[in-house]
Structure 1
Amino acid sequence: MYNPIFSLILLAIESQRVIELRMVRLAWGGREGRAEMQSMVVEKVHAAGEAMTTLMLGGSPEAVIARYREHVAFNTKRLSAA
């Protein structure tokens, strides 16, 4: 049986890496810091809207968690490469 709590715990752990990478980028400041700050806000609003839409259309909380994990994985890869 699938346990959504496990995915939620993984999301929390994986998110810590993105937070770390973003904090470093913001601390350096400059053009990249400002761009990351703007990107972060836009991404969060978009992800929240996507989650709300998924749930309103009958999607499961597990689907929302899985999608958030995809966003986190993308951001980890993007921020680690720079």
Structure 2
Amino acid sequence: MFAAWWKLGFDTTLLAFEAQSVIALRMAKLAAGGTAAQAEAQRMVSEKVLAAGEAAMQLATGASHGAVVAGYRRKVRANHRRLSRGAKAI
């Protein structure tokens, strides 16, 4: 039982660090302004609403907290890859 809690805590900590990186990339994109920044802001809000709904549905159907964290980490890594490509072009 302790190992499961340890893994959840570790994965949640990794999610926090990964999310901070995405936040920094998004802030740079938003600071640049223009239509790309507006599109990113709209995308960010819609992604957050969708992700929260998915997480709620996962928990309501019996998924573990670890599965929810893993889902969020996948989304954060995908955003990091997408935003990193754009940052090199700026």
User: Normalising by the residue count of structure 1, what TM-score does the alignment of the two structures yield?
Assistant: 0.97
CA distance in 1, matches of 2:23, 2:37: 13
Residue 36 (structure 2) aligns with: 32
Runs of 4+ in 1 over 3 A off after TM superposition: none
Structure 1 residue 69 and structure 2 residue 73: aligned? Answer: yes
Residue 63 (structure 2) aligns with: 59
Percent sequence identity is 50
CA distance in 2, matches of 1:81, 1:13: 19
The structure that has the greater radius of gyration is 2
SS, match of residue 62 in structure 2: coil
Deviations 1:33-68 (A, max 9, x none): 000000000000000000000000000110000000
Letter in 2 for 1:28: A
SS, match of residue 59 in structure 1: coil
Long gaps (5+) in structure 2 = none
Residue 46 (structure 2) aligns with: 42
User: Normalising by the residue count of structure 2, what TM-score does the alignment of the two structures yield?
Assistant: 0.89
Aligned Cα root-mean-square deviation (Å):
0.7
Q: How many residues align?
A: 82
The aligned runs of 1:1-20 (5 Å cut-off) are 1-2=3-4, 3-20=7-24
